[in-house]
C-alpha cells in the first residue's frame, strides 16, 4: 500500500495562469515506508494571521499558507538558515517561532518582508 500526502487547498498555485486548473485536493504518492509529519501553526503577521500547515515526508517538505486572500502551496528550497519555501511569486522563510513572507513581484530584492510571529496556543 502506498502512502500519500493530501494537501487540501483552494488553489494549487497562486499564479493566475494556473487558476484554470483548480482542485480541492492534491495527492502526492510516496514510497510505502515514508514517515509523514504534519505540523499546524498560526502566525500573527501585522494585522493579519497566516495559518501554516507544514508537511514533511522523506525528501518532500511543503507548506500550505492560508492567507486572507487565498492559499499558497510552497516547496522547501535551499536556504542558509531556517526553512525557506517558495510557491509562485511568494517566499515563506521561517526560523524558530518567526517567519517572513515575501512577494517577489512587489519586492524582487526581498528587502521588505511581512514579518510574522507564531501565536502561542492557549
What DSSP designation does 99 have?
E
> Does residue 20 fall inside a structural domain?
no
In this predicted structure, what is the pLDDT of residue 36?
Answer: 92
The size of the chain, in residues, is 122
Q: What is the mean pLDDT of residues 9-21?
A: 41
> Does residue 3 fall inside a structural domain?
no
> Does residue 8 fall inside a structural domain?
no
> Does residue 12 fall inside a structural domain?
no
The model's pLDDT over 16-48, given as tens digits with 9 standing for 90+, comes to: 444 445 667 778 888 889 999 999 999 999 999
The model's pLDDT over 51-73, given as tens digits with 9 standing for 90+, comes to: 999 999 988 999 999 999 899 99
Q: Give the CATH number, domain containing residue 62.
A: 2.40.128.200
In this predicted structure, what is the pLDDT of residue 23?
Answer: 62
**In contact, 66 and 46? CB cutoff 8 Å:** no
In this predicted structure, what is the pLDDT of residue 39?
Answer: 95
Q: How many domains does the chain have?
A: 1
Which domain covers residue 112, as residue numbers?
36-118
In this predicted structure, what is the pLDDT of residue 34?
Answer: 92
pLDDT band, residue 82 (cuts 50/70/90): confident
> Does residue 104 fall inside a structural domain?
yes
Q: List the one residue out of 84, 7, 98 whose CA is nearest residue 53.
A: 7
Amino acid at each position: 500500500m502506498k502512502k500519500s500526502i493530501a494537501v487540501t487547498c483552494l488553489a494549487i498555485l497562486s499564479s493566475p495562469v494556473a487558476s484554470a486548473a483548480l482542485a480541492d485536493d492534491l495527492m502526492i504518492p510516496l514510497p510505502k515506508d515514508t514517515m509523514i509529519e504534519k505540523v499546524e501553526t498560526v502566525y500573527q503577521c501585522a494585522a493579519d494571521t497566516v495559518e501554516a500547515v507544514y508537511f514533511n515526508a522523506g525528501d518532500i517538505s511543503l507548506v500550505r499558507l492560508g492567507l486572507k486572500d487565498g492559499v499558497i502551496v510552497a516547496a522547501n528550497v535551499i536556504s542558509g538558515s531556517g526553512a525557506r519555501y517558495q510557491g509562485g511569486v511568494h517566499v515563506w522563510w521561517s526560523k524558530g517561532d518567526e517567519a517572513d513572507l515575501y512577494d517577489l513581484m512587489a519586492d524582487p530584492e526581498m528587502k521588505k518582508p511581512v514579518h510574522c510571529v507564531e501565536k502561542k496556543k492557549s
